[in-house]
Structure 1
């Protein structure tokens, strides 16, 4: 992978394993600042405030976080340790409700504990450490495979539009939606990427444009409401997006505005690809209507990016973080296991 991008370590453990180290994405693109998280409150705050974001990266941060916090539990007996462990788990799980990887990673960590009730706490901690590192390693391998699978559908010189940030910053390595772009860059494909700025939090402008430009990829930043015109001009031959949760019927929750891009792509006859690891597939969730959509503070719309308030005082503001793209708008869902086409009945096989 591009060495400049690979040097950005989104989520990792400190050398002594006493803290989670994250690249604070709220400080990008202006400055690269790494933050140490040593308590449950600090991990919760980092996830909620998007200092670490992207469904896979959130899962990795949660796994590392609960391991770090478990080291601080003052309990020798299994029952006492497990009781405190569950408190931490439930607390961290409440930070963001939409991304399935958060709870999935915490559930994996809990299974390590419940599967070994006869082991001393010191041994449980060793196993928790190993599991957290396994979650990160599996994500890195999955991202590479996702990129290879998607690249098989793309041709050199294509124009590619993406929404939000599903790149290296959102995972452990490569990204999901941007993995084929990075692989293509390594192989001389010469993709031209159009990055939606992605309102209201600007992950496309601050993060996607940042990491692609840093990697030397040909990237053009556009406002969200410009997607239609670049499609109409024939500059886009494929849309690639990530996902925070995939329902059993193939409906997908992703950053707000994704469904609109899918509708535009259908109108212009452009394939719309969703890329994500199988860990984002939630078979217990039957369809998009069952996905809990996170709603965030109206201040992100009215105040956050302005030196003075942009909207009138007292005006109502609706700020959902995600929307749901219907499965019938999706050309293919691409995971590390392969490419699934409608009607998406065999995604996990």
Structure 2
């Protein structure tokens, strides 16, 4: 599935599958301005670190397109720089957002002599290239990671790190898809992932469409399932990986990793190299987004908490590197100690 993020070049519109409504309704949100893209990111119309990055690339295109519509000769550079800054700060935790905006900014700087109208097709080409590259990266990542899964195994995953969280194919689900494509019989346990239920709503939806056996489990069932020998491996995605391997992912991931270690179950993180933030030394420096309390207070629009009771709604937590068996990337599987393997992988890419 690669059509959930689609840019209409002729109309200069970004079409996003509204992930808030899945699996019961498939509706497209159309964005024509950078403000609408920022709103879509913040309200989780689109989510997942690589998908956020690709969406931001097209957001940068829309910001410039609207400036092109101004009267010829109108100064635009300052306004465009400000629009990119706002886009880069739409959400704090996923490093791919900042990475994508900076890539678009570099494209602008490389063609700084051009007018806004002349620059627009260059920026559009760059955004499309980013989208194509993300799909290719996910497929390469899947091939690199499928070898950690054996025929007949059951894999647990947390949140949604599938096609919906990327430009297509997925990271954690990309590993599972590649294993299935290699002829292995793989079953998946998708943790429901409270409070936004990405596992129950999105991961199960994707896997069912691909005819990959999937069972949804309550988040609180992890210890029971692992203790009964019902989980052979855990594969999750990531929103940011620090230079030492500490990994930010959906809230609850750290607990799953700790349980996996307690039950001697391998725990893998699947993410492209672009998700690694070498400027962040360790997980303590990763900003953790806190989302609206009503996401916890309500379920299906109905209140489930007494009125006035405070709520903690941190969207992510950080899994220390010591709980991670390996980090699956498009360039292979990074092994502990991650400070060295991450540095070597990024140096080889450069």
Q: Does 1:155 align with 2:150?
A: yes
Deviation, 1:339, is 0.9
- Would you say the 8 A contact 1:76–1:120 is kept in 2? no
Separation in structure 2 between the aligned mates of residue 81 and residue 336 of structure 1, nearest angstrom = 38
Deviation, 1:72, is 1.1
Among residues 291, 294, 310, which one is paired with 1:296 in the alignment? 291
Separation in structure 2 between the aligned mates of residue 282 and residue 81 of structure 1, nearest angstrom = 31
Q: How does 1:1-349 map to 2 (within 5 A)?
A: 6=1, 9-16=3-10, 18-73=12-67, 74=70, 80-303=75-298, 305-344=299-338, 345-347=340-342, 348-349=346-347
| Count of aligned residue pairs for this structure pair | 341
Separation in structure 2 between the aligned mates of residue 101 and residue 10 of structure 1, nearest angstrom = 18
Instruction: Give unmatched runs, 5+ long, in structure 2.
Output: none
Separation in structure 2 between the aligned mates of residue 76 and residue 111 of structure 1, nearest angstrom = 24
Separation in structure 2 between the aligned mates of residue 75 and residue 332 of structure 1, nearest angstrom = 54
Deviation, 1:17, is 5.0
Separation in structure 2 between the aligned mates of residue 299 and residue 185 of structure 1, nearest angstrom = 38
Check 1:77–1:246 CA distance in 2 against 1; reply closer, same or farther (3 A cut): farther
The residue number in structure 2 matching 1:3 is none
Separation in structure 1 between the aligned mates of residue 17 and residue 128 of structure 2, nearest angstrom = 18
Q: Which runs of 4+ in 1 moved over 3 A?
A: 75-78
Separation in structure 2 between the aligned mates of residue 26 and residue 288 of structure 1, nearest angstrom = 28
- Would you say the 8 A contact 1:249–1:287 is kept in 2? yes
**1:209-236 per-position Cα deviation (integer Å, ceiling 9, x unaligned):** 1111111110000000111111111111
- Would you say the 8 A contact 1:70–1:85 is kept in 2? yes
Check 1:280–1:11 CA distance in 2 against 1; reply closer, same or farther (3 A cut): same
Deviation, 1:81, is 2.5
- Would you say the 8 A contact 2:149–2:179 is kept in 1? no
- Would you say the 8 A contact 2:192–2:218 is kept in 1? yes
Check 1:119–1:308 CA distance in 2 against 1; reply closer, same or farther (3 A cut): closer
Separation in structure 1 between the aligned mates of residue 302 and residue 43 of structure 2, nearest angstrom = 21
Separation in structure 2 between the aligned mates of residue 75 and residue 109 of structure 1, nearest angstrom = 24
Separation in structure 2 between the aligned mates of residue 23 and residue 313 of structure 1, nearest angstrom = 33
Instruction: Give unmatched runs, 5+ long, in structure 1.
Output: 1-5
TM-score normalised by L of structure 1 = 0.95
- Would you say the 8 A contact 1:273–1:333 is kept in 2? yes
**1:127-174 per-position Cα deviation (integer Å, ceiling 9, x unaligned):** 101110111111111100110111011111111000000001111111
Deviation, 1:188, is 2.6
- Would you say the 8 A contact 1:193–1:218 is kept in 2? yes
Deviation, 1:334, is 0.9
Separation in structure 1 between the aligned mates of residue 174 and residue 286 of structure 2, nearest angstrom = 26
- Would you say the 8 A contact 1:157–1:191 is kept in 2? yes
Separation in structure 1 between the aligned mates of residue 212 and residue 334 of structure 2, nearest angstrom = 28
